[in-house]
Amino acid sequence: MKKILIFFSLIILCFFINSSERIDDISDMFLDIGNSLEIEFIQNGKLYLINNNHIIKKIDIELAYRDTEKINGLKYRSFLKENRGMLFLFKHQEEYKQMNMKNVQIPLDIIYINQFDTVIFVNQYVPPMRDIEKITNFPSNTSIKYILEINAGMSNKWGIKEGVTKITWFIK
């Protein structure tokens, strides 16, 4: 009887050891999928950047207005074409206080736009893969309606200026 009990115990032990190895393999498989996940750009509209009543740049935009779209933003994207950006639409002031950059693989310029469609702050060259991007020198008495994320360096290249540049955008 003892031999049978020991035999079954060994079989059960071997089963659990073998099962735990398969669980590790499955976990590794999901890590590989997460690392190779690429979300495609979905053009929802066009955005025009305007200085002194002159269009300085027209770009394709993807809108982020649902909570899940705002949370995901430009995560899991290895590139963003130069003439593209993501426009975040905010209902409440608290939504824009911290930008979660975790799993963002692209360095960005983050452009803050007020209720009058005027650029009020440009956070340039925000590096990828940081947990939270905190804005330290941001005007506290300002109401933010939109955030535009574009490739790092484009705000300088296109001539985007705080207090001068305005936006107009249209849904496709």
**Domain residues for 72?**
45-171
Residue 130's CATH number: 2.60.120.1140
| One domain for residues 31 and 69 | no
One domain for residues 19 and 76: no
Residue 30 φ/ψ, nearest 5 degrees: -70, -35
Q: What is the pLDDT of residue 75?
A: 87
Number of domains in the chain: 2
Q: What local confidence, expressed as pLDDT, does residue 23 receive?
A: 45
Average pLDDT, stretch 92-102? 68
142 shares a domain with 63? yes
Q: Residues 164-171: what's their mean pLDDT?
A: 96
Q: Report the predicted TM-score, pTM, of the whole model to 2 decimal places.
A: 0.75
Please check whether residue 142 is in contact with residue 150, taking contact to mean a CB–CB distance below 8 angstroms: no
One domain for residues 122 and 161:
yes
- Based on the fold, state whether residues 67 and 20 are members of the same structural domain: no
39-79 residue pLDDT tens: 889 999 999 999 999 999 999 999 999 988 888 889 888 89
Looking at the structure, tell me whether residues 32 and 57 fall in a common domain. Answer: no
109 shares a domain with 141 = yes
Q: Specify whether 134 is located in the same domain as 59.
A: yes
**Residues with Cβ within 8 Å of residue 87, at least 6 apart in sequence:** 45, 47, 61, 62, 63, 64, 146, 147, 148, 169
For residue 146, the cross-strand partners are 89, 113
